[in-house]
Chain A
Amino acid sequence: MGEMEQLRKEADALKDQITAARKAVQDTTLEEAAAGVAVVGRVQMKTRKTLRGHLAKIYAMHWATDSKLCVSASQDGKLIVWDSITTNKVNAIPLKSSWVMTCAYAPSGNLVACGGLDNMCSIYNLKGKDGNVKVMRELAAHTGYLSCCRFISDTEIITSSGDCTCILWDIETGTQKTSFAGHQGDCMSLAVSPDFSYFISGACDFTAKLWDIRDGNCRQTFAGHESDINAIGFFPNGQAVITGSDDATCKLYDLRADQELITYQDSSIMCGVTSLAPSLSGRLILAGYDDFNVNIWDSLKAERVGALAGHDNRVSCIGVSADGMACCTGSWDSFLKIWN
C-alpha cells in the first residue's frame, strides 16, 4: 500500500473513531434534559435609541467593555465611536479604505481596529496625546479580506480572513505571532473565550474550529451546518459555542461533549443568519437575519420567543453590552438601534 493510501485509510479510521466517541457520550439530548424547563415568556424589546450618522451600509459593530460606548464600521469609509446613551458621536474616524467588513473595541477602551477588502487590520489609538485619532499600526500579512478581528489586549489582536486562516498579532511590532491554518474555506467570524485562552472561528467550509491561542493548535472541529457559517459566539460560561449560518439555522455545540446539542430553526425562516449574540445568562440568543429581522431564541428550548423588527434592510451585526443591559443592531439601512 502506498503511503497516500495508508494516510487516507488512517484519516477515515480516525473520523470513525471521533464519530463513535461522540455517540458514546450521547446518553441524552439537550431537548430531553431540558424537557422539564418552562419556555421563557414572550420577550418584547423596544428601540430605545437610533444612532444616525453613517451614509452607507453598516457592516460591523462592537461594544466597549463600559457598556456605554460602541464602535461601528460602514462602507461610507468611517468608523464611528458612539455614546449609546446620549447618541453623540465621540469619534468619527475616516478610513483609508472604505471597504470595511469588521471592527473591534479593545477591552481597555484605548484602541479600536478595523479591516476589510484591503486585507489589513488597522489599529487606531483613541487616546493619543493631541486628541487626534490616528492609525497606530497596519497589520498586513493576510492574502484575503479581513472578515473579523478581536482584541485580546492592547498588545494582541486576532484576525480572521478570506484566505482561510486566522492570525494572532503582536500589535507593538506589527508582526504575526501565530498563524491558525486548517479551515478549507474563507474564515468569516471569530470569538474569544471569556478567559482569553481559546478562540473559535466559523468558516465557509461549514465548520467551526476551536483554537488554543498559545500553542496555535486546532483542538476541535464542529460540523453539521449545510452552508457558510457567518456568525459565531461563546455561550457566557465559555463551555459552548453558538454558530449562525447561511443555512438559516443557528446551532449550539458543547465543547466538553464535543458535539452539537441543539439547532435553532423554524420552517418559516429561509434566509441566512448574519450575526448573533447571547444575552448575559445565555438563556436568550439574539440572531440577525438577511430578512431584516432579529429573532430571539430560548437557548435551552430552541423556541422563538421574540423578534426585533425595525430595520429597513439586512441586519448585519448585533451585540449585547457587557452588563447585559442592551442589545445593539447595525444594518445595511445605515442605522444602529439600541434595544432593551
Chain B
Amino acid sequence: MSSKTQSSSSMAQARRTVQQLRIEASIERVKVSKASSDLMRYCGEHAKNDPLLMGIPASENPFKDKKPCTVL
C-alpha cells in the first residue's frame, strides 16, 4: 500500500470512528436507580415461575427418573 493510500484509509477510519462516537453519544440515558429498580421488579415478578430458582417438585420434573415405589 502506498503511503498516500495508507493515510487516506486511516483518515476514513478516523471519520468512521467519529461518526460512530456521535451515534453513541446521542442516546438518551435512564438513571441507574430506575434501571436497577426495573431489573429488580422483573426478577421479583417472575421469581415464582422460575423453576431453577424455586426448585421443582419431583412429581413435576420431566427430567427426574421416576423410580417405582415399593410398599414395605
Binding site for B on A (CB under 8 A): 3-4, 7-8, 10-11, 14-15, 17-18, 21-22, 24-30, 33-34, 37, 40, 43, 45, 48-49, 84-85, 182, 217-221, 235-237, 239-240, 254, 256-259, 261, 279-284, 286, 299-300, 320, 323-327, 338, 340
Query: Which residues of chain A have C-beta atoms less than 8 A from B18's C-beta?
Result: 7, 10-11, 14
Bound-state Cα–Cα, A282 to B29, Å: 22
> Are B51 and A26 neighbours in the complex by a CB distance under 8 Å?
no
Bound-state Cα–Cα, A27 to B31, Å: 7
> Are B21 and A45 neighbours in the complex by a CB distance under 8 Å?
no
Query: Which residues of chain B have C-beta atoms less than 8 A from A254's C-beta?
Result: 30, 32, 35-36, 39
Q: What 9 pairs across the A-B complex have the smallest Cβ distances?
A: A281-B46, A33-B36, A48-B63, A281-B50, A14-B21, A256-B30, A257-B35, A7-B14, A254-B35
> Are A236 and B46 neighbours in the complex by a CB distance under 8 Å?
yes
Within the complex, the shortest CB–CB distance from B16 to chain A, in Å, comes to 8
Q: Mark B1-38, 1 if CB is under 8 A from A, else 0.
A: 00000010011001101101111110101111111111
**B72 interfacial contact with A, CB 8 Å:** no
Contact count A vs B, C-beta below 8 Å: 168
Bound-state Cα–Cα, A340 to B16, Å: 47
**B53 interfacial contact with A, CB 8 Å:** yes
> Are A258 and B52 neighbours in the complex by a CB distance under 8 Å?
no
Query: Which residues of chain B have C-beta atoms less than 8 A from A221's C-beta?
Result: 24
Query: Which residues of chain A have C-beta atoms less than 8 A from B50's C-beta?
Result: 279-281, 283-284, 324
Q: How many residues of B contact A (CB 8 A)?
A: 42
> Are A30 and B61 neighbours in the complex by a CB distance under 8 Å?
no
10 new A-B pairs (CB below 8 Å) besides A48-B64, A85-B62? A4-B7, A7-B11, A25-B30, A29-B36, A30-B36, A235-B42, A239-B35, A257-B29, A257-B32, A324-B51
Of the candidates B14, B23, B35, the one whose C-beta lies within 8 Å of that of A217 is: B23
> Are A280 and B21 neighbours in the complex by a CB distance under 8 Å?
no
Bound-state Cα–Cα, A11 to B46, Å: 42
Within the complex, the shortest CB–CB distance from A37 to chain B, in Å, comes to 7
Query: Which residues of chain A have C-beta atoms less than 8 A from B63's C-beta?
Result: 48-49, 84-85, 325-326, 338, 340
> Are A300 and B21 neighbours in the complex by a CB distance under 8 Å?
no
Shortest Cβ distance from B14 into A: residue: A7
**B70 interfacial contact with A, CB 8 Å:** no
> Are A257 and B30 neighbours in the complex by a CB distance under 8 Å?
yes
> Are B51 and A33 neighbours in the complex by a CB distance under 8 Å?
no
Query: Which residues of chain B have C-beta atoms less than 8 A from A17's C-beta?
Result: 25
> Are A26 and B32 neighbours in the complex by a CB distance under 8 Å?
yes
> Are B22 and A282 neighbours in the complex by a CB distance under 8 Å?
no
Query: Which residues of chain A have C-beta atoms less than 8 A from B56's C-beta?
Result: 325, 340
Bound-state Cα–Cα, A169 to B49, Å: 35
Bound-state Cα–Cα, A284 to B64, Å: 21
Shortest Cβ distance from B7 into A: residue: A4
Query: Which residues of chain A have C-beta atoms less than 8 A from B36's C-beta?
Result: 28-30, 33-34, 254, 261
> Are B24 and A219 neighbours in the complex by a CB distance under 8 Å?
yes
Shortest Cβ distance from B10 into A: residue: A4
Query: Which residues of chain A have C-beta atoms less than 8 A from B69's C-beta?
Result: none
Bound-state Cα–Cα, A99 to B1, Å: 34
